Amino acid sequence: MHNFLPVAYFEGKFVPFEEANISIATHALHYGTGAFGGLRGIPHPQNSGQILLFRLDRHCQRLSKSARFLNFDLPADKIQSVIVDFIKKNAPTVSFYIRPFVYTSDLGIAPRLHKVEKDFFVYGLELGDYLSPEGVSCRISSWYRQEDRSLPLRGKISGAYITSSLAKTEAVESGFDEAILMNSQGKVSEASGMNVFLVRDGRLITPGFEQDILEGITRDSIIAIAKDLGIPVVERPVDKTELLIADEVFLSGTAAKITPVRQIESYHCSTHRPITDRLRDKLSAITEDADANYRDWVFKVDI
């Protein structure tokens, strides 16, 4: 059961979450013509009157760009101001997750993006750990990540998540925690809702943007942090076998943060993870506003 935050933003107004409902004829429900964001908020560990949002500007920009793929002009600063008001109205006291969603809100049939009304809503829910911080087992999915030539993969388009859903359920029903998907070129792409990193010989390696990945904001942050720590970072195509013999493997995402991988198929990864641990400690300090060098990544809302 989820604990939803009491107030949602829906059809241009703040309303009780229970009253934010859509019709069964909603266009996006049928055609997957929505796009979403997902960001975490936490109460400031030292100042109970403040909520911290990690890289709010980047999340709003990505959603605005996703909206463009839906033929919808929704400026990032509009999204940002709604999210800030949303937080003030809810005044959360525990860690939570915000889900802003843009979609074709018209009622009726015929898949298209022109001449169809669009709308934007925001709701939130309490969220602790999404994956076990102790580490997860991964299956190499029999489902492949979609290709950018058939879907705008730089947007978080709701319809694309059928593949993530198939992969995740296949993994869980066959005894694993998560799925790692290859792309159509047979290279490592990403997990069901996370980017993938590996460490080999002290270098941090992750598939590049041309590998049909989502442009993860956590991924971007980890790359910047690693560079600042003097860890060499390489963005390049990754083979499945490299994952199997890597010194360390981890997944990254807003929900998953940095989650170590402890097993891939029948291969067990080392539990000695010095680089993963370093990056994880740094990322968590940054999100808690405890690292002065990255304060501009943390947006503060006074509640």
Ligand X SMILES: Cc1ncc(COP(=O)(O)O)c(C=O)c1O
d(Cα 279, Cα 292) in Å, to the nearest integer? 16
Per-residue binder mask for ligand X (CB under 6 A), 106-145, x = binder: ----------------------------------------
Give the one residue of 5, 7, 74, 217 binding ligand X; rule: CB under 6 A.
217
Q: Which stretch binds ligand X (CB under 6 A): 6-14, 235-243, 248-256, 280-288?
A: 248-256
Distance CA 183, CA 116 (A): 32
Give, as ranges, the residues between 161 and 200 that touch ligand X (CB under 6 A). 164, 190, 193-195
Annotated active-site positions, please?
156
Q: Is 216 in the site for ligand X (CB under 6 A)?
A: yes
- Give the residue carrying structure tokens 């997860």: 136
CA distance 211 to 209: 5
How many Cα neighbours within 13 Å face the side chain of 190?
24
**Shortest Å, Cβ 163 to ligand X:** 9
Query: Is-contact 265 107, C-beta < 8 A?
Result: no
DSSP state of 130: S
| Contact predicate 55/83, CB 8 Å | no
Of 279-298, which residues contact ligand X (CB under 6 A)? none
Per-residue binding string, ligand X, 29-58, x by CB under 6 A, is ---------x--------------------
- Regarding 64 and contact with ligand X (CB under 6 A), the answer is no
Characterize 35-53 residue by residue with b for buried, 16 or more Cβ atoms within 10 angstroms of its Cβ, and e for exposed. bbbbbbbbbbeeeeebbbb
Confirm or reject binding of residue 100 to ligand X (CB under 6 A). Answer: no
What are residue 18's DSSP bridge partners?
none
Question: Quick one: tokens of 184?
Answer: 């159509």
Structure tokens of 229? 């720590």
Q: Does 155 bind ligand X (CB under 6 A)?
A: no
* Minimum CB–partner distance for residue 188 and ligand X (Å): 13
Between 106 and 192, CB nearer to ligand X: 192
Judged by the rule CB under 6 A, the positions of this chain that interact with ligand X are 38, 164, 190, 193-195, 214, 216-219, 252-254
